Amino acid sequence: MATSHESSIHPTAFLATVAVSGGLTLAIGAASFVLSFTVLRDLARMAGISNSYAWLLPFIIDGTIMQATLSVITMSYRSDEASRRGRRFFWIMLCVAAAVSISGNAFHAFETRTSTLSPTMAASIATIAPIFLLAMTHGIAVLIRSTRESAAAVDPVSPANSRSHQSTAPVAPEEPAVLQDDVSSDVLDTVRLRHEHPEWSWNRIGEQLGVAASTALRRYRRWEESVETSAAADDEETLTVHV
């Protein structure tokens, strides 16, 4: 049976890699934010905004970049129409904020240039900070999403649940129908998808159902509990009959 590449990565090694990568991403993002913040604050002063409030301009612009990026990643966990519209809105906000930040940094460098560099070169260098701020913010969001997907895909089960998986896998299509009166249709739909596509991660199953991966996992756990409860009741009834 084929094994996914992701399953071959030891959890400790994966978490260590994510921690190091996340630390570097945060450090680079923080440095980029400070540089871009300083330039945009100076630009606000040049526009006549007082020193007391000049910091609000970079906070609004670069803060929107981070907020919109995280919102895009968050909204991607759902596939319904409302979530898709929300995701498009945040993409537009992200593009607008990034364009304003990059343009502001470039304009500031052009206006305050020295004789050392040409105006074009100075403006190009000034765009490094906002561009890397955008990239690192997106990188942080991707790391967050990766760790959440991996946590859902690991799907730790107890020994009792492991036996339940092994014993019920061969008759997967019939099992959900056994407990139709005890569980909801949403739970049955989740169980059918899990049994028909055991290679799918919980994130993919959630996308197919229009719910979060954790919701799909909870539904499946609910069905497993119903199976165990039903089996225990059958055993008790059998024991009573024999007695």
Q: How far apart, in Å, are the Cα atoms of 133 and each of 12, 73, 108, 127, 217?
A: 29, 16, 17, 10, 35
Q: Is residue 205 part of a domain?
A: yes
CA dist 240 → 145, 227, 235, 237 (Å): 51, 20, 9, 5
Q: Are residues 29 and 83 in the same domain?
A: yes
Residue given tokens 């300083």 in the structure block: 38
Q: Is residue 2 part of a domain?
A: no
Residues 228 and 184 in one domain: yes
Q: Is 3 a member of any domain?
A: no
**Contact status, residue 178 vs residue 211, Cβ threshold 8 Å:** no
Question: Looking at the structure, do residues 122 and 165 belong to the same domain, yes or no?
Answer: no
Per-residue pLDDT of the chain (243 residues; tens, 9 = 90+): 444 444 455 667 777 777 787 788 788 888 888 888 998 999 999 989 998 999 999 999 988 988 888 888 777 767 677 878 888 898 899 889 888 988 988 888 888 876 577 778 888 888 888 888 778 777 776 776 666 655 555 544 444 444 444 444 444 444 444 444 556 788 888 888 888 888 888 888 888 888 887 888 888 888 888 777 776 655 555 545 555
- Count of structural domains, the chain: 2
CA distance 181 to 142: 41
Check: CB of residue 191 under 8 Å from CB of residue 176: yes
- Those residues with Cβ within 8 angstroms of residue 200's Cβ, 6 or more apart along the chain or in another chain: 193, 194
Residues 134 and 212 in one domain: no
pLDDT, residue 233, reads 59
pLDDT of residue 175: 44
Are residues 209 and 232 located together in one domain of the fold? yes
Residues 29 and 101 in one domain: yes
**pLDDT confidence of residue 54:** 92
Q: Which domain holds residue 222?
A: 159-242
Indicate if 86 and 148 belong to the same structural domain. Answer: yes
Tell which of 104, 120, 154 closes a domain. 154
Contact 119, 113 (CB under 8 A): yes
The answer to whether 105 touches 40, Cβ cutoff 8 Å, is: yes
* Same domain, residue pair 85 and 148: yes
Q: Give yes or no for a contact between 110 and 123, defined as CB atoms under 8 angstroms apart.
A: yes
Residues 149 and 178 in one domain: no
Query: What whole-number distance in Å separates Cα of residue 231 and Cα of residue 52?
Result: 69
Is 142 within a domain?
yes
| CA distance to 28, 53, 172, 238, per residue, from 178 (Å) | 55, 66, 11, 18
Q: Are residues 145 and 209 in the same domain?
A: no
Is residue 229 assigned to a domain? yes
DSSP secondary structure code for residue 123 in this structure = H
Looking at the domain assignment, is residue 174 inside a domain? yes
- The answer on 176 and 140 residing in a single domain is no
Co-location of 119 and 168 in the same domain: no
- Count CB neighbours of 19 within 10 A: 12
Q: Which of 42, 45, 39, 99 is nearest to 68 (CA)?
A: 99
Closest C-alpha among 51, 35, 52, 211 to residue 131:
35
Residue 151: alpha-carbon gap to chain centroid: 11
